[in-house]
Amino acid sequence: MAATTDIKQLRIATRNCGFIDPESLDDYIAVRGYEALAKALTMTPAEVVEIIKVAGLRGRGGGGFPTGVKWGIALSNAADQKYIVCNADEGDPGAFMDRAVLEGDPHSVVEAMAIGGYAIGATLGAVYIRAEYPLAIKRLRKAIDDARAMGLLGKNIFGSGFDFDIEIKYGAGAFVCGEETALIKSMEGHRGEPVSKPPFPAQSGYWAKPTIVNNVETFANVPAIIIKGADWFAGIGTATSKGTKVFALAGKIVNVGLIEVPMGTTLREVIFDIGGGCPDGKEFKAVQTGGPSGGALANKDLDVAIDYESLIARKSMMGSGGMVVMDEDDCMVSVAKFFLDFTMDETCGKCTPCRIGSKRLYEILDKITKGHGTKADLARLKSLSDSIKDTALCGLGQTMPNPILSTMDTFGHEYEAHVTQKKCPAHVCTAMLTYTINPAKCTGCTLCTKVCPVECISGTKKQPHVIDASKCIKCGACYDKCKFDSIIKM
Ligand SMILES: Cc1cc2nc3c(=O)[nH]c(=O)nc-3n(C[C@H](O)[C@H](O)[C@H](O)COP(=O)(O)O)c2cc1C
Ligand code: SF4
Ligand code: SF4
Ligand code: SF4
């Protein structure tokens, strides 16, 4: 966890991480582990669902759907078999909230899945986890085995007549397999491709049976809610978003790592008070929330209280909790291109708007960053983004244009500079850069000539030097080497 201050942090989902031995069932029991399951089994399933509803817990996997409502749908769908699935696919680049919970407190997820299974009437649960998480898998497997050996999973748990067990399914690392319908297809052994909804998994999911898919962090909150009560949880956060959220701080920020804060904490508190701001005295420029499906928020958004609605209102989203901070040296067109490159690679290819549209969007962004963009390209970017949002089959395609739309909205002047002046204001897009030497400052020390890989700097010792722009490959080596600030990057 980020170290600077715990003042603004509140741990619910990560309450035990770092405090107990994750491989010890005894340690978990010592912090009231499995007490919530015992308590839930004294209630009716409908009462358990009601507690989760009143608590206001919403899905931490991205969409923010109310967990109690979802459980209620599955409970009311009668079936001979139901399933509860934990989504531990965690495909957002740079995000590792779920891995941290599974590595640090696997029993809390096992316990929550048993509570969820009881609430909806499922006797079998599955954790879908990416195979690149070997430590999380090892600890989860041990937690399941230990719980089973202790009678906390299996037949007739706590003598209640409730049977429940958990199996582990492995994902191969495709981002789209985190989408719940693709995840279910993958669990069944098919290609991990989304299918259109409805029917929703709570109606017809794994093997066409009612199936609840919840995120790791969502589950990790459940035992605490059952023990401390719905009102306690509902008392934390904002009017529409209750409890806390775990975020992974990354990018240009002093304190990188995981934090957990109450919903309603402002971006300023997260980035400056907890994150310590940008390193090397650089100026904060933007923060991408919601991973590749989210958007960039800027200075004007710093005092926004973070919750599901406030982020959507600013063309971003909560997502699973990734936060990538950018400083004055970042080009927002390149940032949009970076995220699009990721989603373009991860499209499953099933529907045309996403499969083909992502390529066309990328080509336009590439053209702009190479200095060949036009005003018409900006209009095309916008209209194609809108069409893809409206017509793509699943959330991956529907949210793919978000980084473009949000950066065009807030940093439109940077796009304009790229296409009208053929300049990258952040000096990132090399095709539009020029390096020149200021003769008034150059001492003729010759250091730059020694590092230039194409020998395009000439001059006599102790006399101002010059760069041959026709040969310069814009590597920046001379700029980094010059001790007299004589080289100008424009
Ligand atoms: C492209 C894509 C990737 C997703 N990846 C994840 C993921 O890695 N983990 C996750 O919990 N939810 C992910 N989701 C959201 C799931 O489809 C689903 O809404 C979520 O697992 C439900 O759990 P929750 O209600 O507890 O959030 C993804 C959605 C999309 C569209
Ligand atoms: S939107 Fe993209 S990822 Fe989703 S089904 Fe269509 S092609 Fe596949
Ligand atoms: S390193 Fe700087 S001061 Fe030295 S010759 Fe090159 S430009 Fe001039
Ligand atoms: S930017 Fe690179 S190639 Fe260009 S003059 Fe400087 S060192 Fe040489």
CA of 72 to the centre of ligand 2 (A): 29
CA of 446 to the centre of ligand 3 (A): 6
User: Is residue 287 over pLDDT 80?
Assistant: yes
What's the mean pLDDT in 21-47? 98
CA of 397 to the centre of ligand 1 (A): 14
**231 shares its domain with 266:** no
Q: What is the pLDDT of residue 2?
A: 45
What is the per-residue pLDDT across 398-446, written as a single tens digit (0 to 9) for each?
999 999 999 999 999 999 999 999 999 999 999 999 999 999 999 999 9
CA of 454 to the centre of ligand 3 (A): 16
Mean pLDDT over all residues of the chain? 96
User: Is residue 1 over pLDDT 70?
Assistant: no
CA of 453 to the centre of ligand 4 (A): 7
What is the per-residue pLDDT across 209-240, written as a single tens digit (0 to 9) for each?
999 999 999 999 999 999 999 999 999 999 99
**48 shares its domain with 117:** yes
Ligand closest to 347 (CA) is: 2
User: Is residue 62 over pLDDT 90?
Assistant: no
Q: What is the pLDDT of residue 5?
A: 47
> 10 Å Cβ neighbour count for 32?
13
From the CB of 486, is ligand 3 less than 6 Å away? yes
Residues with CB under 6 A from ligand 2: 176, 194, 347-351, 354-355, 392-394, 396-397
**145 shares its domain with 179:** yes
Domain for residue 76, yes or no?
yes
Q: What does the alpha-carbon distance between residue 410 and residue 390 come to, in Å, rounded to a whole number? A: 22
CA of 278 to the centre of ligand 3 (A): 30
**207 shares its domain with 345:** no
What's the mean pLDDT in 469-477? 95
CA of 179 to the centre of ligand 1 (A): 5
Q: What is the pLDDT of residue 373?
A: 98
Q: What does the alpha-carbon distance between residue 253 and residue 276 come to, in Å, rounded to a whole number? A: 7
Domain end point (choices 235, 266, 284): 235
Q: What is the pLDDT of residue 7?
A: 54
What is the per-residue pLDDT across 150-171, written as a single tens digit (0 to 9) for each?
999 999 999 999 999 999 999 9
Domain for residue 360, yes or no?
yes
**181 shares its domain with 320:** no
- 3-7, 110-114, 260-264, 322-326: range with lowest mean pLDDT: 3-7
**288 shares its domain with 142:** no
User: Is residue 131 over pLDDT 50?
Assistant: yes
**48 shares its domain with 127:** yes
Q: Residue 312 corresponds to which tokens in the numbers above?
A: 């959507």
**272 shares its domain with 195:** no
pTM here? Answer: 0.94
From the CB of 354, is ligand 3 less than 6 Å away? no
Q: What does the alpha-carbon distance between residue 110 and residue 41 come to, in Å, rounded to a whole number? A: 15
Residue 49's CATH number: 3.40.50.11540
Ligand closest to 220 (CA) is: 1
Q: What does the alpha-carbon distance between residue 228 and residue 294 come to, in Å, rounded to a whole number? A: 33
Q: Residue 136 corresponds to which tokens in the numbers above?
A: 């999380």
Percent of the chain with pLDDT over 90: 95
Q: Using most ligand atoms within 8 A of CB, pick from 447, 452, 488 the residue to mutate for ligand 4.
A: 452
Domain for residue 5, yes or no?
no
CA-65 nearest atom, ligand 1: 25
User: What is the domain range of residue 390?
Assistant: 244-421
From the CB of 448, is ligand 3 less than 6 Å away? yes
Q: What is the pLDDT of residue 3?
A: 44
Q: What is the pLDDT of residue 219?
A: 98
Domain for residue 9, yes or no?
no
CA of 430 to the centre of ligand 3 (A): 21
Q: Residue 94 — very low, low, confident or very high, per pLDDT cuts 50/70/90?
A: confident
Domain for residue 4, yes or no?
no
Domain end point (choices 195, 215, 235): 235
CA-348 nearest atom, ligand 2: 8
Q: What does the alpha-carbon distance between residue 349 and residue 397 come to, in Å, rounded to a whole number? A: 10
Ligand closest to 393 (CA) is: 2
CA-176 nearest atom, ligand 2: 3
Residues facing residue 258 across a β-bridge: 248
Q: Using most ligand atoms within 8 A of CB, pick from 57, 65, 213 the residue to mutate for ligand 1.
A: 213
User: Is residue 4 over pLDDT 80?
Assistant: no
Among residues 16, 13, 162, 180, the alpha carbon closest in space to that of 88 is found at 180
